Structure 1
Amino acid sequence: MTVVDAQREHLFVGWDVGGWNCDKNQNSRDALVVLDHTGQCIGQPWRGNLRETINSATTPAAFLAELLALCKLGNPGQSPHATLAIDAPLGFPEAFASLIAGGTPVDQIGRSAANPYLFRHTERRLVAEGVTPLSAIKDMIGSQATKAMHVVARFAPQRLSPGIWTDGKHLTVIETYPALCRARLGLQVGTEPIPKTGRDADIHDAEVCARIARDFDLNRERLESPTDDTPASEGWIWAPRRVSVEA
C-alpha cells in the first residue's frame, strides 16, 4: 500500500462500524480502509474505536482529516474531500419513527421482515432475494446505527436525496451492506477466503464499503438506486445491481 498526498484527489473511505464501546469487544470494532481513484488501497487499514475521534472533531474537514491520519495518510495541507460508505443503518423505519414521535400506528403488521416497525423499505426489499437483513430495532446493531447516524448528523447533515448525505464540501456519505454486496456477486475484493471473526473480518468489510464508495462516485450505474417509493428519512442501502440468472 502506497501512501499518497491525500489532498490531490477525491478519496473513498469504507467504515465498518463497531458499537460505541467497541474497544471492549475483540471481535467487532470500527475499521477503516481508504482507496484512491484507481481502486488501490492507500495508507494502512485501521481498526479500533472511533468514539473519541468523533467527539474531538469539530468540523467535517477535521473529522475526515482525522480518519485519514488514523490510516497513516497524514494531515493534508489542503481541505480533504471523500466519499464515505458506512456499514450501518443510517435511518430508522418511518413507521417506527411515527409511532414513537406521535403515537401513530400502522394498520397491519406483517411477519418477520414485513414488519414496518422493525425494517426499513430498503431492507424489506431484500427478503425476496434470500438476504436476511439486520434490524436496527430488534437486532444487536442499535449501538452501531446510532453511532453512524450521529456522525452523519454532525458532519454531513444535508440530505441530497434518499440515501445520500453531505456537508456540501468535504464529505459525501452513503450506506452499504457488505454481506449483500458479496451475495450479489457484483463486487470483487480479492480471492482470499472471507474472514469470519476479528480484525481481518472488520477490515475486509471496510474494504467492501470503500469499493462501493468508489463505484458510487465513478460507476454509479453498477449500483441499485433508490426506488421512487423509498422514504427519504429511512435512507437506502447502496449495493451492486442484482445479477440476472436468465439464460
Structure 2
Amino acid sequence: MKYSRVIGIGWDVGGWLGNNHGVAACVWEEGMGSVEWIGSPSSIALPEDRLLRIPELVKAISKEYALIEDDETMIVIGVDAPLSFPSAFAQLLGGADVDIRKPAREIDNIFAYRDTDRHIHAVFGKKPLSATFDRIGNNATVAMAHIKMWEKEGDFVTYPFHPSNAENNKVILEVYPALVKERKSTEAFPGIKQLLPTGLVPGTDAYDAAICALYAIAFGSSGTPLPALVGPNGTCDGWIYHFSKEDLEKMKCI
C-alpha cells in the first residue's frame, strides 16, 4: 500500500544521561517535490522518571503540531543507533558455544559487528561503531529500550525484525547519517542538504536527526523526493537502511 502522507521522525540517539538526543521531524505528501519541516530540530534529554513517548519527540520540536494517525498516513522513525547486538554476542551471553577464531580484521569479529556493519564497511568503506565494543553501546541500550516500549504502546513495528507488510504504517528503522557526509562535522551531500531546514549546524545532534528524518521519508515515500532505501536480503540480526552507492554518488553531484 502506498500512503499519500509520510511523517518522518529522526532520532539521533544520545546516552542515558545528558541532553544530546537530536530530534527532528518532517512531512511529505503525495505531489510534493520536497518536504515540510515540523518545528525546529532540537537536542533534548530523556525524562527523569520514564522513557520518551512518541508524541513527546514531536512536542520537543513543535508545541503546536499533533501527529496525524489515519489510513492515509505512514509514520516512520529513523534511528541513528544500533537496534540490535551481533547474534554471536547474544549467543555467547546466553551460554551457547560459539565457533570463533582470532579475526584477521576488527570488522570481522563476530562478537563486535553484525553482518550489516560488515556490509556497510565493504560497500562504502565506513565502519559503524560496535554496540558491544564501543561506547555506542550506551546509546544502543537507550534505543532498544525505547523501541520495545513503542512497539507495545504505539503499535510500531521495527524492521527487519518484524515481517515487512504493506499494511504496517508505523515503522522504526536503523539508519546511518554518516553515509551521506564526508565526515561527521561536514555538511550533507548536496542531494540531502537541499532538503534540510536552513540554519542547522553540521556535526550537531539536531543536524544528524534531520538527516535521520529524511531517511524515514525516503523509506515511506516510494522514492520521492529521495531514492528508495536498500533493505536486507533474507533474515539477519539487524540492518542499517541506506541509499545505494549509485544513488549516493548522484547526491554528491546535485
Shorter chain as denominator, the TM-score bin is 0.7 to 0.9
Which residue in the other structure is 2:17 paired with?
Answer: 21
**Where do residues 217-232 of structure 1 align in structure 2 (5 Å cutoff)?**
217-219=220-222, 222-228=228-234, 230-231=235-236
1:32 counterpart (19, 23, 43): 23
The alignment status of 1:119 with 2:122, answered yes or no, reads no
Which residue in the other structure is 1:171 paired with?
Answer: 170
Alpha-carbon separation, structure 1, partners of 2:239 and 2:100: 24
Alpha-carbon separation, structure 1, partners of 2:78 and 2:129: 17
Which residue in the other structure is 1:83 paired with?
Answer: 76
Runs of at least 4 residues off by over 4 Å: 77-81, 157-161, 163-166, 183-187, 191-197
Report the residue type matching 2:100 in the other structure. Answer: D
Please, what is the CA RMSD of the aligned residues?
Answer: 3.3
The alpha-carbon deviation at position 163 of structure 1 amounts to: 5.4
2:192 counterpart (173, 188, 193): 188
SS of 1:13 mapped into structure 2: strand
Tell me the TM-score normalised to structure 2 length.
0.74
The alpha-carbon deviation at position 121 of structure 1 amounts to: 0.7
The alpha-carbon deviation at position 162 of structure 1 amounts to: 1.7
Q: Cα–Cα, structure 1 residues 127 and 103, in superposed 2: closer, same or farther, change >3 Å?
A: same
Alpha-carbon separation, structure 2, partners of 1:99 and 1:56: 29
The alpha-carbon deviation at position 94 of structure 1 amounts to: 0.2
The alpha-carbon deviation at position 214 of structure 1 amounts to: 0.2
Identity of aligned residues (%): 28
Alpha-carbon separation, structure 1, partners of 2:8 and 2:16: 23
SS of 1:223 mapped into structure 2: coil
Alpha-carbon separation, structure 1, partners of 2:116 and 2:59: 33
SS of 2:192 mapped into structure 1: coil
The alignment status of 1:42 with 2:33, answered yes or no, reads no
The alpha-carbon deviation at position 104 of structure 1 amounts to: 2.1
Q: Deviations over 1:54-74 (max 9, x none)?
A: x256xxxxx222211111143
Structure 1 stretches of 5 or more lacking a match? 1-7, 24-28, 58-62
Report the residue type matching 1:68 in the other structure. Answer: V
Q: Cα–Cα, structure 1 residues 214 and 75, in superposed 2: closer, same or farther, change >3 Å?
A: closer
Tell me the TM-score normalised to structure 1 length.
0.76
Equivalenced residues, count: 220
Structure 2 stretches of 5 or more lacking a match? 29-33, 183-187, 250-254
